[in-house]
Amino acid sequence: MLHNKDRVVVEDGFCTQRTVPTKQVHHRNFPEIRAECGSVAEGTVHLVSQLSLYREGAQNAWHCELIDGAIADVAEFLAALDATGQAAETDCGCGGP
């Protein structure tokens, strides 16, 4: 069973050329920060990067703590993917920009 499944949201989508299915991943507290990749694992790794960049612009310690919590949730979600073998999924490969 995946931990923090309620905090990390995974939705189905399509690549920019609308030909290859993708996964869109975001944290429930930061829906505006999304990662769209070919697999849940790849999207989760990219989401950690996106949240880390967002943290650099945080205006105060309280906001940093919220972002750090989201990063920890996403990292735990990725670890759960690794434990269930789902992190080995293939990427999109559509060649889109």
Asked if the structure places residue 26 within a domain, the reply is yes
Asked if the structure places residue 89 within a domain, the reply is no
Asked if the structure places residue 91 within a domain, the reply is no
Which residues form the domain of 22?
A: 8-84
- The tens digit of pLDDT for each residue in 56-93 reads 998 899 999 999 999 999 999 999 998 877 655 544 45
Q: What is the pLDDT of residue 88?
A: 54
Domains contained in the chain, number: 1
Who has greater pLDDT, 2 or 78?
A: 78
Q: Is residue 41's pLDDT more than 70?
A: yes
Segments of 1-97 assigned E as strands: 8-14, 21-27, 30-37
* Model confidence pTM above 0.85: no
Asked if the structure places residue 38 within a domain, the reply is yes
Asked if the structure places residue 3 within a domain, the reply is no
- The tens digit of pLDDT for each residue in 10-23 reads 999 887 777 788 89
Distance CA(81)–CA(43), nearest Å, equals 12
Q: What is the pLDDT of residue 86?
A: 65
Distance CA(44)–CA(74), nearest Å, equals 7
Residue 6: DSSP 8-state: T
Q: What is the pLDDT of residue 6?
A: 84
